[in-house]
């Protein structure tokens, strides 16, 4: 074979090899990130945290990335490292600033840590902008309940429920037109009313609509690993046998490390929801984290039979 042809082929192969090495070569930063994620996936928080700390060292001179402190705080919340979580959330806030959503998160974190004065400050900031904010009012109600102020707790629950009823058109829009009682003639009919038997507006909300307020709050809390506050909200749900309640309870128990309790909740709903992929996957995760690989594999297989192209990092 002619040398020119051989050299051309050899050069092409070296170019392909170089591209492959470049594509598959990990930087130190990418390696730490991958290993932190893998150890976190199997709940090995000591090794996961070691690699996260190395990530922070690699990125310590980059002050334009406050997200790294938020991510570390979220990791600490996931493993109940309360003091560290608060430290790094404060570091994130100092660089990023506070917005409505972050005030809610900080308020909920302070609430579950028993720091009620701080919780009130964060939530009050939200309510100053929107006094009818449903989730801020519910968290404020939890806070007042915790410090034995039932009257104020009742008030904030009522505001949240009435706002939801207006959103669902179950109540007419609030009329904010000013009234001049000096020039306005109103005829009042005299009636004798037993107010103990009269339901206030918020008590007229449908149980399912009321439960949905708490489910929405729980989703926000679990997304931010605030599972203690989520557990408080879970205790206010009325229908404790619905699929949504049982799945939410299982999700919360898994985050709390109570894996068998999670499987009990899922097993209660599976007889009537055999085709629920999320339930089978969650059951598999709970057994996997508990160390029961047999029942875990069985649950994953059931999930894959229902949805063969299932996209889940563990499955």
Mean pLDDT within 108-125? 95
Render 273-312 in DSSP notation, one character per residue: -TT-HHHHHHHHHHHHHHT-HHHHHHHHHHHHHH-TT---
**What is residue 103's three-state secondary structure?**
helix
Query: Which CATH code for domain 25-95?
Result: 1.25.40
Q: Tell me the CATH class for 250-315.
A: mainly alpha
- Max Cα distance, the chain (Å): 113
Does 98-171+200-239 match 250-315 in CATH topology?
Answer: yes
> For residue 309, what pLDDT is reported?
85
Tokens describing residue 14: 């070296």
pLDDT-derived band of residue 195, with 50, 70 and 90 as boundaries? very low
CATH among 1.25.40, 1.10.3470, 3.40.50, 2.50.20 for 98-171+200-239: 1.25.40
Domain boundaries, the chain: 25-95, 98-171+200-239, 250-315
Q: To which residue do tokens 């893998």 refer?
A: 38
Lowest-confidence region among 91-105, 215-229, 242-256? 91-105
Distance CA 186, CA 137 (A): 34
240 pLDDT more than 50:
yes
Q: How many other C-beta atoms are found inside a 10 Å radius of the C-beta of residue 8?
A: 11
């Amino acid at each position: 074979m002619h040398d020119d042809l051989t050299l051309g082929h050899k050069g092409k192969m070296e170019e392909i090899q170089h591209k492959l090495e470049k594509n598959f070569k990990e930087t130190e930063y990418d390696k730490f990130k991958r290993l932190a994620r893998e150890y976190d996936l199997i709940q090995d928080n000591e090794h996961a945290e070691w690699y996260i700390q190395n990530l922070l060292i690699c990125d310590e001179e980059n002050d334009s990335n406050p997200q790294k402190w938020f991510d570390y705080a979220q990791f600490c919340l996931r493993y109940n490292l309360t003091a560290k979580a608060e430290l790094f959330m404060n570091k994130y806030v100092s660089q990023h600033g506070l917005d409505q959503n972050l005030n809610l998160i900080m308020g909920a974190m302070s609430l579950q840590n028993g720091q009620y004065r701080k919780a009130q400050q964060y939530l009050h900031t939200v309510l100053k902008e929107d006094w009818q904010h449903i989730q801020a009012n519910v968290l404020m109600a939890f806070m007042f309940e915790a410090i034995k102020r039932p009257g104020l707790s009742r008030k904030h629950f009522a505001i949240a429920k009435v706002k939801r009823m207006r959103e669902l058109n179950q109540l007419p829009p609030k009329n904010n037109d000013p009234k001049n009682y000096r020039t306005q003639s109103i005829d009042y009919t005299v009636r004798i009313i037993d107010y103990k038997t009269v339901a206030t507006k918020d008590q007229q909300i449908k149980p399912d609509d009321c439960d949905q307020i708490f489910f929405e709050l729980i989703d926000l809390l679990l997304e931010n690993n605030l599972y203690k506050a989520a557990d408080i909200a879970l205790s206010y749900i009325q229908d404790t046998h619905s699929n949504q309640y049982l799945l939410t309870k299982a999700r919360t128990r898994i985050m709390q490390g109570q894996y068998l309790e999670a499987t009990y909740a899922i097993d209660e709903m599976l007889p009537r929801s055999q085709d629920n992929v999320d339930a089978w996957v969650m059951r598999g995760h709970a057994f996997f984290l508990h160390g029961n690989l047999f029942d875990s594999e069985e649950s994953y297989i059931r999930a894959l039979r229902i949805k063969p192209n299932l996209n889940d990092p563990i499955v």
